[in-house]
């Protein structure tokens, strides 16, 4: 595997579940969170932890889909970007949402691992951003939302 791809995967893993210097990563930020805690809103009109987790899973899916040149509409849940939780009719459980995040991360990681180094400079689907920028961006997205979840947890105390 090319060094650039390995480094991007290391960044992705550090932001998601690997050892990191910056504090909890995304997976670490939800460790030990109960369904009830994950559903609590920090304020009116604010996203809860469950919604943030599904949002993160969705964007992992979106980046994977863009890297592979796939069409929209294949995400596990109906909708896009933000998904209101809990209370959605026929909705998923907190545990299923965590598994969805895990699955989307693994699928994205697999696509990145199979990317040729030369493919990093390409703009998938004639998009504005290169594959490399998308991959670095999704890692930053995980770190951002890990911090957001940490803040929500503090507000719950």
State the pLDDT at residue 31.
96
State the pLDDT at residue 88.
53
Query: Regarding predicted confidence, which is higher, 65 or 127?
Result: 65
- Band (10; pLDDT cuts 50, 70, 90): very high
Which ranges constitute the DSSP H helices of the chain? 3-16, 26-30, 35-39, 49-68, 94-113, 131-156
- Band (87; pLDDT cuts 50, 70, 90): low
Region of poorest pLDDT, from 1-5, 12-16, 144-148: 1-5
Distance CA 153, CA 145 (A): 12
Inter-residue contact 28 to 71 (CB < 8 Å): no
Find tokens 């696509």 and name the residue.
111
Chain mean pLDDT for the chain: 92
Structure tokens at 101: 């995040």
Inter-residue contact 132 to 121 (CB < 8 Å): yes
State the pLDDT at residue 4.
95
Which domains occur in the chain, in start order? 3-156 (1.20.120.450)
Query: What pLDDT digit, counting tens, does each position of 115-130 carry?
Result: 999 999 999 988 899 9
C-beta atoms surrounding 97 within 10 Å: 25
Contacts of 103 by beta carbon, 8 Å cutoff, 6+ apart: 57
Contacts of 27 by beta carbon, 8 Å cutoff, 6+ apart: 16, 17, 101, 102
State the pLDDT at residue 21.
82
């Amino acid at each position: 595997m090319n060094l650039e791809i390995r480094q991007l995967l290391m960044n992705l893993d550090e932001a998601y579940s690997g050892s990191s210097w910056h504090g909890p990563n995304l997976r670490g930020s939800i460790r030990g969170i109960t369904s009830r805690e994950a559903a609590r809103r920090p304020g009116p009109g604010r996203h809860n932890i469950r919604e943030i987790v599904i949002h993160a899973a969705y964007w992992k899916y979106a980046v994977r889909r863009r890297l592979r040149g796939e069409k929209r509409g294949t995400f596990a849940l109906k909708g896009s970007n933000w998904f209101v939780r809990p209370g959605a009719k026929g909705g998923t459980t907190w545990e299923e949402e965590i598994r969805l995040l895990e699955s989307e991360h693994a699928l994205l990681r697999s696509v990145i691992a199979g990317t040729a180094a030369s493919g990093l400079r390409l703009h998938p689907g004639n998009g504005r951003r290169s594959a490399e920028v998308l991959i670095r961006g999704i890692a930053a997205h995980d770190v951002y939302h890990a911090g957001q979840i940490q803040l929500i947890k503090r507000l719950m105390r």
